[in-house]
Amino acid sequence: MALEDAHGAHNYHPLPVVLKKGEGIRVWDVEGKEYFDFLSAYSAVNQGHSHPRIVGALVEQAQTLALTSRAFYNAELGPFEKAITERFGYDKVLAMNSGAEAVETAIKLCRRWAYDVKGVPANQAKILVCSDNFHGRTSTIVSFSNDPDSYGGFGPYMPGFERIPYNDIAALEKALQDPHVAGFLVEPIQGEAGVVVPEADFIPRAAALCAAKNVLFIADEIQTGIGRTGSWLATCGNCQCGGGRCERQAATYVRADILILGKALSGGVYPVSAVLADDGIMMTIKPGQHGSTFGGNPIAAKVAQAALEVMEEEALMQNARARGEQFRDGLKARIGHLSLIKGIRGKGLLNAVLINDSPESSTAWDLCMALRDAGLLAKPTHGNIIRFAPPLVISAEEMDEALNRMEKVFTSFEQSH
């Protein structure tokens, strides 16, 4: 910690624990103490820490060929592109590295489509976003944030975005009257805002409104995708898919025009992100107009294929459904009555506990410190909300033990304050 403080930028405020090893839902610090990881690197480690199949794919490919750039073809990218487009039902994919890069890619695709296909006058395309959004921290993305910590002091800001309230169909319908609107970029569940779950009909109604106005519906599933909410995608709604693959069930499935994936696409062992769309959108970008030296590299392609296969073969989205219900029902029964608790919400294994204190208080942080001491790692978001998102491999027995630890910490905290 002292070395990071002395030699690293101070752009994060980590919980004071130094981790050295991970396996499944467990991590160990440098002194050998074991913890349950209930953050999963912000939902990147859905398949569990150090999954042998995913790590094996990384090691095998790293020993064979790591990087070619896109100046040449490589033997792994094509199979990955076929695998991911077939799984999610799109014509094309554009592979990138970080989530923010993928969002930037989606923005460029949307704007180019607006000018080349929709016929929006040059430099007048507008993209709708939601209040309290989090899509990354690039200069473009913070331009449409309403979080002062994200945008403050980083102007001038990129024009071409309009913010509307989240989960507000009337506001979206009004904004869509502008013929220059090209796309609507939205998180199906707002993770950084505190796991804000919209009304069940918000996403399907929003997508339908966009389709009616020839506006691209852009789903940022970087945190919610790859099984986290109990479905392959949060835009799948309350699906009942029984197999490993997304069945795109007509009763619940909403298809985004542009789908953004990242984080757990690699199981957390390598930076991999992806933007999926059909030819009418994707092929508006030509050679030389967008790219990345590392995007689609052989290691990334091999690792992502393994990560997707693990999700399917181990039925992790179904486990996320079951364990998520166990978590919420268990917490409500054990600590829901405490005056310390304002609410418990979430979907699948993306959940949050709302603390009955102000966003400026230290209560959520203090609770996370107490949880750390009890062997469970979580992190506050927005001051008075604690996010809980363990790896999707968590068992019923492990969840029971986690609930026991949380009950003791929250109950003891209330009694002593």
Annotated active-site positions, please? 134, 220, 263
Report which of 253, 248, 143 is spatially closest to residue 188, judged by C-alpha positions: 253
Residue reference for tokens 């309403």: 146
Contact 9, 26 (CB under 8 A): no
The distance between the two most distant Cα atoms of the chain, rounded to a whole number of Å, is 64
Phi then psi for 391, rounded to 5 degrees?
A: -55, 150
Question: What is the amino acid identity at position 96?
Answer: M
Distance of alpha carbon 325 from alpha carbon 79, whole angstroms: 36
Please check whether residue 198 is in contact with residue 164, taking contact to mean a CB–CB distance below 8 angstroms.
no
Closest CA to 105 of 121, 122, 92: 92
86 exposed, middle or buried (CB, 10 Å; 0-12, 13-18, 19+)?
exposed
User: If you write DSSP's letter for every residue of 323-359 in order, what string do you get?
Assistant: HHHHHHHHHHHHHTTSTTEEEEEEETTEEEEEESS-T
Burial class (CB in 10 A: 0-12, 13-18, 19+), 354: middle
Q: How many CB atoms lie within 10 A of CB 141?
A: 23
Can you spell out the DSSP letters for 216-227?
A: EEEEE-TTTTTT
Six-digit token string for 274: 């992806």
Element (H, E) at 183: strand 181-186
CA-to-CA distance for 273 and 287, rounded, in angstroms?
A: 20
